[in-house]
Amino acid sequence: MSSSDYDPTSEGAETDFTRRMSYGNYLALDAILSAQHPLSEAHDEMLFIIQHQTTELWMRLAIHELSAARRAIARDEVSPAMKMLARMSRIFEQLNNAWDVLRTMTPSEYTRFRSQLGQSSGFQSRQYRLIEFLLGNRNHAMLKPHAHDPETTKLLEAELATPSLYDEVLRLADRNGLKMPAAVLARDVRETHSFNEGVLQAWRVVYEAPETHWMLYELAEKLVDFEDYFRRWRFNHVTTVERVIGFKRGTGGTGGVSYLKRMLEVELFPELWRVRTIL
């Protein structure tokens, strides 16, 4: 029998969904697939919209995974947290691959609809800002683009008041015999963690004897693996923007490429990168 003659009902497949949940119902596909509203006749605007919508969907999953991993670490449930962090690396691998699709759009093609964006910009993504805060990059100035939205401001303020993922990892390490500086453990979690020599030396103990501190060693490498993918995402973002708009200012008013290049200098887990130098 050829594939064109195959009848799925012969094996019991359901075809009547009058009173049953269908694939489209479960995934709310009517809402998702009707959410693209180009404002111009430019062919490539659909690409631009879908690229950013799917990015936001992956970020939704990233927040789900990072938040759960942080809660698990706070409860000393390290194994499930490491599974979630491994998934985070795969999520950002998907986000990195998406830049390859967007880069098929040339500067001339983008110019045909760029004016339709007005002042809208990925700079204003509340989910991206939440991820940055959750990971510990807590720049309070980044609350300003959301000041017009009380609900988003409340969400971000609540995140700032919560220990970051790295804060919870350092507390976990301290609970497991890896002495962390008291000032780091008691610091104001609303602020960004800065490089600390005491934390560096604590991680040095782990990396010099991984077989003795395997759980913390493995967790540290999961964090480095994730930040590696996150850095690549930022680099690909810069490269894509420079390729498409050069050094024009961003639609949201940032310096565009110059702003994005500054973000490449951000270290989320500074001691985990620098410990490699002193081994």
What is the domain partition of the chain in residue ranges?
A: 42-165+193-276
CATH for 42-165+193-276, options being 1.20.58.480, 3.90.190.20, 3.50.50.60, 1.10.1060.10:
1.20.58.480
Q: Say how far apart CA 188 and CA 165 lie, in whole Å.
A: 14
Query: Where do we find the tokens 């949940």?
Result: 21
Q: Say how far apart CA 225 and CA 235 lie, in whole Å.
A: 16
Q: What is the mean pLDDT of residues 270-276?
A: 97
Structural element, H or E, at residue 232: helix 214-245
Q: Say how far apart CA 139 and CA 265 lie, in whole Å.
A: 14
Give the pLDDT band (50/70/90) at residue 247. Answer: low
Q: Say how far apart CA 235 and CA 265 lie, in whole Å.
A: 10
User: Where is the binding site for heme, in residues?
Assistant: 237
User: Where is the binding site, in residues?
Assistant: 48-52, 110, 114, 237, 251
Give the pLDDT band (50/70/90) at residue 255. Answer: low
Q: What is the residue-averaged pLDDT of the chain?
A: 91
Question: What pLDDT is attached to residue 208?
Answer: 98
Q: Say how far apart CA 186 and CA 172 lie, in whole Å.
A: 14
Reference 95, options 226, 229, 245, 221; nearest CA is: 229
Q: Which residue has the higher pLDDT, 26 or 121?
A: 26
Q: What is the mean pLDDT of residues 239-267?
A: 72
Percent of the chain with pLDDT over 90: 74
Q: Say how far apart CA 33 and CA 50 lie, in whole Å.
A: 10
pLDDT digits (tens, 9 = 90+) for 70-111: 999 999 999 999 999 999 999 999 999 999 999 999 999 999
Read off the DSSP letter of residue 187.
Answer: S
In a 10 Å sphere around its CB, with 0-12 CB exposed, 13-18 middle and 19+ buried, how is residue 245 labelled?
middle
Query: Where do we find the tokens 């509203």?
Result: 37
Query: Where do we find the tokens 């010099």?
Result: 208
Q: Say how far apart CA 56 and CA 64 lie, in whole Å.
A: 12
Q: Say how far apart CA 143 and CA 229 lie, in whole Å.
A: 25
Q: Say how far apart CA 232 and CA 96 lie, in whole Å.
A: 7
pLDDT digits (tens, 9 = 90+) for 178-229: 999 999 999 999 999 999 999 999 999 999 999 999 999 999 999 999 999 9
Our CA angle for 51, 57, 62, nearest 5°, is: 120
Are 252 and 123 a contacting pair, CB within 8 Å?
yes
Instruction: Give yes or no for residue 165 having a pLDDT over 80.
Output: yes
Question: What pLDDT is attached to residue 210?
Answer: 97
Q: Say how far apart CA 154 and CA 192 lie, in whole Å.
A: 19
In a 10 Å sphere around its CB, with 0-12 CB exposed, 13-18 middle and 19+ buried, how is residue 190 labelled?
middle
Instruction: Give yes or no for residue 1 having a pLDDT over 60.
Output: no
User: Where is the binding site for substrate, in residues?
Assistant: 48-52, 110, 114, 251
Instruction: Give yes or no for residue 250 having a pLDDT over 60.
Output: no
3-state secondary structure of 193: coil
Question: What pLDDT is attached to residue 3?
Answer: 64
- 95 Cβ partners below 8 Å, 6+ apart? 55, 58, 233
Enter the pTM of the model: 0.89
End-to-end Cα distance, the chain: 64
**Directed axis angle between helix 197-208 and helix 165-175, to 10°?**
60
Q: Which residue has the higher pLDDT, 248 or 62?
A: 62
